[in-house]
Amino acid sequence: MYRRLRDAIENGTFEPGEQLKDKELAAWLGVSRTPVREALLRLAQSGLVLAQPGRSTIVSPLDVREVRDARDVVAAMHQVAVREAVPALTEADVTTMRDANRRFAAALESGDVESAVRADDELHGVPVTICGNRALATVLEQFTPTLRRAERLRFGSPLGHASVAQHDELIRLCAAGDVEGAASVAYGTWQSLQTDAGPTAGPPEAAG
């Protein structure tokens, strides 16, 4: 339930500012209103909706500051994951990352943003899985949804192609066993997201 609503917000089925009514959502999903309300509360915790008891619930605007805060946390978690995973990566793991990046590049070329997001998830998911850090995975589960709409903006623009080269460098360093180099690239890859999303994500911030 939560994942279906989360995905619908992330992929633009429900747009920023759109009102979400639990009765209508329940009918759409074919469930009772109780699990819908529970899902909306979780989405509020992830920053994807703005919910107030007794008042309307709306899809959150894509806010620059929230994206930036989530990006910083997610970048740090991926940096840790790569640092912990590199010594344990097998040749098969590296091959999985390479294959994912090829599919990612092909998806960008064809304008298939959804496939690009899935391939990107698979690539970055290898170190996260290998490191086996459950606390880290929990943090990513909470904060990555805040970045999804920003990711889609990036992958749907020419700027998204820069991620292919970033992935190639990450994979090269992972294959070489360069722990700190790979961790640094992983961090930088996620840090670059805000630069692409910022201008379209919300009201401009004061310079300086």
pLDDT at 66 over 60: yes
Q: What is the pLDDT of residues 101-133, one digit of tens each?
A: 999 999 999 999 999 999 999 999 999 999 999
Residue with the larger pLDDT of the pair 153 and 101: 101
For the ranges 3-12, 58-67, 89-98, the one whose mean pLDDT is highest: 89-98
Residue with the larger pLDDT of the pair 76 and 201: 76
Tell me what pLDDT residue 54 has: 66
Contact 122/96 with Cβ under 8 angstroms? Answer: yes
Coil vs helix vs strand at 62 = coil
Tell me what pLDDT residue 200 has: 37
Least confident of 29-38, 39-48, 92-101, 127-136: 39-48
Beta pairing class for 49-51 and 57-59: antiparallel
For the ranges 20-34, 59-73, 98-112, the one whose mean pLDDT is highest: 98-112
Chain centre to alpha carbon of residue 26: 26
pLDDT band at 149 (very low <50, low <70, confident <90, very high): confident
- Mean pLDDT over 40-56 rounds to 80
pLDDT at 207 over 80: no
- Mean pLDDT over 45-51 rounds to 81
pLDDT at 202 over 70: no
Mean residue pLDDT across the chain = 87
Expressed in percent and rounded to 5, the helix, strand and coil fractions of the chain are 75, 5, 20
Domain residue ranges in the chain: 2-59, 64-199
Instruction: Provide CATH code, domain 2-59.
Output: 1.10.10.10
Tell me what pLDDT residue 153 has: 82
- Indicate the fold that domain 64-199 takes in CATH: Four Helix Bundle (Hemerythrin (Met), subunit A) (1.20.120)
- Burial of 174 by CB count in 10 Å (0-12 exposed, 13-18 middle, 19+ buried)? buried
